[in-house]
Structure 1
Amino acid sequence: MEALFLFLVVLLALVFSSASANVHVTAAQKLTNNPADQLVAALNSNRTAHKGSSLYDNPGLACIALQYIKAYEGECSAVGGGGNAKKPADTEFAETFAPNCGVSASSLTPITGRLLGCETKYVPPSEAFSSILMKNSKSLEILYDKNHTEVGAAVSGSDGGSPYFWCVLFSSGKTNSSFAIEGGVAKIMRPGCFSGANDECSSASDLIRRLRVWPSAAISLAVAAFVFGV
């Protein structure tokens, strides 16, 4: 009886632990459904707070931003103003990025600005905006440029993990006609998230799955130990 009582106490503790983890996970998932969308929200909020216009979140441009990230092939050192800094060639937009996104090459319009950052750890979108992308006066100049009419943001880890890239591309194109997606539906791709596509894309999805599986596995082991060991 004493062993049975101890088993029940452990089992109840695991059940409550599982419930608590799921509540926490649900909250975390809600906060990170799509960090690229949240990045655009932070950007537009900052623009309007400084008497600027809110920019149209163009999913075609955003998908191009994700392709822009992938062109760096996980090389964090190639981002920024250092000696190893680089950026994809302009020809890649029409030849590679647009086809990969299902964007009509004839609808591409000039990029009027870009913000790109890379860090070894994932941070919330609002922090990424203020700490990673807004590094200097040049970044602010790009952010508040009155020539921008639309924006597209993307976030991606390298092979689903560190380092993490954040990219925002701006354009002066016409809403609903530039960066037009063939068939009207954005081509979702992983790893990475891009804005404007109504895509729930959590950077913590793998961790969430592990958190959900662990309590169930622990409970199963406890039951097996009781059945075969008591």
Structure 2
Amino acid sequence: MPKPSAPPLGSMAWFLSLLLIVSAASATDSKNNVADELVAVINNNRTAHKSHTLFDNPGLGCLALEYIKAYEGQCNEVGNDKKPPDSSFVDTFAPNCGVKAATLAPITGRLLACQSKYVSPAEAFSNVLIYNAKSLQILYDKNHTQIGAAVSGTDGGAPYFWCVLFSSGKTNNSFTFDGGVAKNVRPGCFSGNNDDCSNAMRPAGSLFLPAITGVLLVLIYAFGL
């Protein structure tokens, strides 16, 4: 009995290549944001601790990313009580984000950490950002009403900075953007703006394997391996 003939080589190779492209595009459009994930972890922990949840303010999140950028990738500066002056919020951070300076509200707490290895938001929360009594006190402070988080790597890689800013501002009129939209701030990502940046923050190896697998499928069919 004759074997069924294989589909034309050109059409099958083209089809598999198209699947690979579509798969990559779907990953890009997944709307995942590690900064949003970190905010969710923090709010879940506060709820478990009988504290109220905090509003995820994108303007405050953008300021957190600007706060990270002020360290210029110097991981060793974190934890040495060195921090950008408060005047930077008005002079630099707000203009870079497109946040109206008149809507800035008091910052009631800051959590900042940096390390050479990327970790998940849950691990960053429990093992990187929350590490002593002072950080726990900041986490559960009753004066907080809103939160903004940011994650950034230097030139897309290590070191990785994690920053969380808390504020006591009113959720409907603080840290608002000119025109209602944040400026395009890179590298890194910040919470509250529906930006997809998980793949940009995670190591490239996690995306490399599916891509190379698709290429191998094309080669296997083409050469009958």
Q: TM-score, normalised by structure 2?
A: 0.81
Letter in 2 for 1:180: T
Shift of 1:181: 0.9
| Match 2:213 to one of 212, 215, 226 | 215
Letter in 1 for 2:111: L
Name the residue aligned to 1:51: 50
Name the residue aligned to 2:3: none
Name the residue aligned to 2:39: 40
Name the residue aligned to 1:194: 190
Name the residue aligned to 1:11: none
**CA distance in 2: counterparts of 1:198 and 1:169, whole angstroms:** 18
**CA distance in 2: counterparts of 1:215 and 1:170, whole angstroms:** 43
| Aligned positions, number | 206
**CA distance in 1: counterparts of 2:206 and 2:136, whole angstroms:** 35
Letter in 2 for 1:215: T
Name the residue aligned to 1:60: 59
Name the residue aligned to 1:141: 137
**CA distance in 2: counterparts of 1:223 and 1:45, whole angstroms:** 48
**CA distance in 2: counterparts of 1:209 and 1:138, whole angstroms:** 37
**CA distance in 2: counterparts of 1:204 and 1:211, whole angstroms:** 13
**CA distance in 1: counterparts of 2:38 and 2:220, whole angstroms:** 43
Letter in 2 for 1:78: E
Shift of 1:161: 0.2
1:9-58 Cα deviation digits (max 9, x unpaired): xxxxxx8xx98xx69x96xx96x921100100111111111111101000
Shift of 1:214: 2.1
Shift of 1:149: 0.6
Alignment of structure 1 residues 1-230 onto 2, 5 Å: 33-80=32-79, 82=80, 85-202=81-198, 203-204=201-202, 206-207=204-205, 209-219=207-217, 226=223
Distance 1:130 1:112, change over 3 A: same
Shift of 1:174: 0.5
State the identity as a percent. 61
**CA distance in 1: counterparts of 2:71 and 2:101, whole angstroms:** 22
**Unaligned residue ranges in structure 2 (runs of 5+):** 1-15
1:90-145 Cα deviation digits (max 9, x unpaired): 11111111011110011111111000001110000001001101010000000111
**CA distance in 2: counterparts of 1:206 and 1:185, whole angstroms:** 29
Shift of 1:223: 6.6
**CA distance in 1: counterparts of 2:125 and 2:67, whole angstroms:** 18
**CA distance in 1: counterparts of 2:209 and 2:186, whole angstroms:** 21
Distance 1:211 1:49, change over 3 A: same
- What's the Cα RMSD here? 3.0
Distance 1:208 1:185, change over 3 A: farther
Shift of 1:188: 3.4
1:176-199 Cα deviation digits (max 9, x unpaired): 211011111222322201000011
**CA distance in 1: counterparts of 2:88 and 2:43, whole angstroms:** 28
Shift of 1:221: 5.3
**2:78–2:112 Cα contact (<8 Å) kept:** yes
From the two aligned structures, give the one with the greater helix fraction: 1
SS at match of 1:112: strand
Shift of 1:211: 3.5
